[in-house]
Chain A
């Protein structure tokens, strides 16, 4: 899927020239944001039940009011190294297509209201992570915030034999 510029085409808000709201959060020293429309809720870290033969970025599953919710260590998923979750860590519960997934991040920092012309195209860099997840970049108060797409945070549905 073309992650660059795709949203500008498909998002009705864009056509109206209105702003969109993004939730920004921190993993290590980097800042990221996702569309607030994809976020269901934000909750504190609770230990997850480990899943056998799961990729390292899948921390396991937790109980979200009766639903079994997989937890993705977003830092690990983005290649920034595994988190060592504490009570201060945060889970962003997000809707990804028709599934609900929990994203483990260090902290939520802000809600940003931006217009699409503020979103800069992602520069060509070699990182596969960037190509797979980063939709664009924002400059907020002199900091760089990566606007990421969640479409590929979960491993493929098809059973890949681990190892």
Chain B
């Protein structure tokens, strides 16, 4: 059985790219469009890894990560932050919010799969 990855990103382009890369790598992919939607999806899903964008409407990535970590059911799910923002303070902020790791955009499939491997049991 393949691993399930939840991706949370408001950009259709990014969602499509993530889906393509992840499906090609043999993952099952579920997608959400922002933090609020992501938490909604988590009510019915138990992904093995979550990949989330930071800048999103309604609820940003930080809020989403905090939400996941506050949920006893999902708090141990590895979360990778997908962002073009790679400044140390942004990383610190993501880490403080509870992110497991990050992937810096632009990414390629290799980078993506590598990062998942690093956090996925």
Asked whether the complex places CB atoms of A and B closer than 8 A, the reply is no
